[in-house]
Chain A
Amino acid sequence: MGSRPAAQVGHSRKVYIQRDYSQGLGLRYSTAMPPQLQDRMPEDLFEAAIVNINQILAGAENGSVGVYAESCFACLTGYLIYMCMDTHYERSLKEVRKLIEEYNRTVFMPRRLMMIDPSERGLRVIEVVLLS
């Protein structure tokens, strides 16, 4: 693996957690902890946080009867219903945002870390900022 230098921006550094495609195309992030975080938080804690995020994201992309029914209903209304309500996917992403805010407040900030919501990064990566 080797050590990967964290990207340097100003006086803080950033590490990036990439997408994990081993289980399919679904929205999932790698649970492997980058070495730069090892001195700041325990590995199992980090992994649990990512696993929880992945669980919500998995629900976003799976088709279920409820999701299909919602899509059909939206199609019948000419998709105008989406002016009043969020799609299932958007609701899941909002849940992830809330969860990350809680984690930041309770788990990451006390350890001088900050996790950036992947929606801010186009769902490409989860960015973790190492605060100085």
Chain B
Amino acid sequence: MPKRWEVYPGKSQVLCSGRCISAKNLSVFYLTLALIVISSCLFLAFDCRLLAVTLSPSVPVLAAVQFIFVLCCLLRTTFSDPGIIPRGTPDEAAWIESQLEGPQVDRDGNYRPPVRLKDVQINGRVFKLKYCFTCKLWRPPRASHCSTCDNCVDRFDHHCPWVGNCVGRRNYRYFYLFLISLSVYCLYVMVFGIVNLVLLSNMRKDFLMAMKESPTSVLTILVAFFSIWSVVGLGGFHTMLICRETSTNEDIKGSFNQRRHPDLINPFDQGNGLANCCYVLFGPVTPSLLNFREDEIGLGSSISLVTNNGRNGTVSAAAASTAVTATPAVRYSNLTRNNNDATSNSVGHVNNSVQVISESLPAQLPGDGNDVIVKNGNGAPADGVISGGTDAVGAQNSNTQSASSVHCIV
């Protein structure tokens, strides 16, 4: 059975057997990498000789630490999933598209394309949700389709060729950290490159002679100087965007521009800049929804997999479907409304497990009073409670689907 990364339909490049994803064209990224690595190596190899001796050995150490941090942030931004929303299955597409109005010709004979917008109200503001025909899904409000990578990306910021990937919800904080750390590092390298030249010129009493003696310093200073303008500028721009809880894409489109549309509010704004910063940089991160390392279950099977745990392997769809279709009546007769007081030992076992499991359900499900009895209303931690119950179920039904669900819960 193929893994999901092998059947991935978009234009992104999947690397390391599904562990990394980036844009297909990485040539500008290699340029970025080369500039950073070569300048740093030149700085550490040549400038730091004099600086370590004259000033302090902590100068090259700090430079090395910053260099590693910048590289880590860059690689993390480039090779992580930016928040790609996996494409809809054909069944989903059929379901949704059957509800969309088809193309029509109105009274004047004008062609109207299929309607693919729907209005939703979010915190008092009307948003138009678009249906993405490529990805077969209703695009979430802040998502956008990247034509370079041919994916819908959640909280799409922009596609950055320098970094070689889209910048979206999942990798925005690494991108921002990269910008800030690179700004600081460029400044550091430029300042200490100049200090090195000054020290050298003091020793040689001639600035031009110093420059000839240490040409790599000149190169490093120039690279750092020209980089600073763009990197610091971009870093400042993104700081402002973060404080306003806007993405580059929304800023360009003027979605929340209050000067142009004074009555527009940003429904995602948390109120103040600091709260927005905390949420964007330290808030919860969605796991990658692509699940590249899992098996791609074929769509021919009637039941898609239910109990799949990526770490412990998957249930084959065939086994799942036969187990479910063959034995539901036998297995669940004792859980139906009228059959709650069965007498056999094994069924009693199952009843106990149902009652124990029900502790984790927040409230008694209305209309189902007899089956699910809540012992205490607070959501008790599921792990300790459920494993006892499902062991009973699993022991009783060893060769059916529930065995795999025990597998997953443990």
Interface, chain A (partner B; CB < 8 A): 4-7, 9-12, 14-16, 18-19, 21-25, 42, 44-45, 48-49, 52, 55, 60-63, 67-68, 71-72, 75, 78-79, 87-90, 93, 95, 97-102, 104-107, 109-110, 112, 114-117, 119-125, 127, 129, 131-132
A68 to B386, CA, bound (A): 29
A44 to B393, CA, bound (A): 28
Chain B, 90-134, CB within 8 A of any chain A CB = 91-92, 94-96, 98-99, 120-123, 127, 129
Residue of A nearest to B333 (CB): A110
What 15 additional pairs, Cβ within 8 angstroms, besides A107-B368, A123-B85?
Answer: A7-B94, A19-B140, A21-B141, A22-B121, A44-B366, A52-B362, A61-B284, A63-B283, A75-B282, A105-B335, A120-B308, A122-B87, A124-B88, A125-B88, A131-B303
Contact at B335–A110, with CB atoms within 8 Å? yes
- Residues in chain A near residue B402, CB distance under 8 A: 105
Interface centre among B122, B305, B371 (most CB of A within 10 A): B122
Q: Which of B202-210, B231-239, B353-361 makes up part of the contact surface?
A: B353-361
Contact at A88–B304, with CB atoms within 8 Å? no
Contact at A102–B306, with CB atoms within 8 Å? no
Q: Which of B160-168, B213-221, B285-293 makes up part of the contact surface?
A: B285-293
A125 to B96, CA, bound (A): 11
Contact at A21–B127, with CB atoms within 8 Å? yes
A-B contact count (CB 8 A): 191
Contact at A120–B302, with CB atoms within 8 Å? no
Contact at A63–B279, with CB atoms within 8 Å? yes
Q: How far is the CB of B113 from chain A (nearest CB, A)?
A: 21
Contact at B368–A6, with CB atoms within 8 Å? no
Chain B, 296-318, CB within 8 A of any chain A CB = 299-308
Check if B137 is an interface residue, CB within 8 A of chain A.
Answer: yes
Contact at B328–A124, with CB atoms within 8 Å? no
Chain B, 148-206, CB within 8 A of any chain A CB = none
User: Given A25-B122, A102-B386, does the pair A131, B328 have CB atoms closer than 8 Å?
Assistant: yes
Q: How far is the CB of A75 from chain B (nearest CB, A)?
A: 8
Please name the 10 residue pairs, one residue from A and one from B, whose CB atoms are nearest each other, closest first.
Answer: A122-B86, A71-B282, A7-B91, A10-B302, A122-B289, A63-B283, A42-B367, A68-B282, A21-B120, A7-B95
A42 to B284, CA, bound (A): 35
Residue of A nearest to B129 (CB): A21
- Residues in chain B near residue A120, CB distance under 8 A: 304-306, 308
- Residues in chain B near residue A102, CB distance under 8 A: 357, 360-361, 386
Q: Could you say which of B95, B267, B306 contacts A15, with CB atoms under 8 Å apart?
A: B95
Check if B346 is an interface residue, CB within 8 A of chain A.
Answer: no
Q: How far is the CB of A106 from chain B (nearest CB, A)?
A: 6
Contact at B361–A24, with CB atoms within 8 Å? no
A10 to B279, CA, bound (A): 45
Check if B319 is an interface residue, CB within 8 A of chain A.
Answer: no
A14 to B402, CA, bound (A): 22
Contact at A21–B289, with CB atoms within 8 Å? no
Q: How far is the CB of B45 from chain A (nearest CB, A)?
A: 25
Q: How far is the CB of B174 from chain A (nearest CB, A)?
A: 9
- Residues in chain A near residue B95, CB distance under 8 A: 4-7, 14-16
A3 to B373, CA, bound (A): 35
Contact at A109–B332, with CB atoms within 8 Å? yes
Check if B64 is an interface residue, CB within 8 A of chain A.
Answer: no
Q: How far is the CB of B359 from chain A (nearest CB, A)?
A: 11
* 13 cross-chain CB contacts under 8 A: A16-B91, A24-B268, A45-B366, A45-B367, A49-B365, A63-B278, A71-B283, A89-B284, A97-B408, A99-B361, A101-B306, A109-B331, A116-B304
A79 to B305, CA, bound (A): 31
Contact at A121–B92, with CB atoms within 8 Å? yes
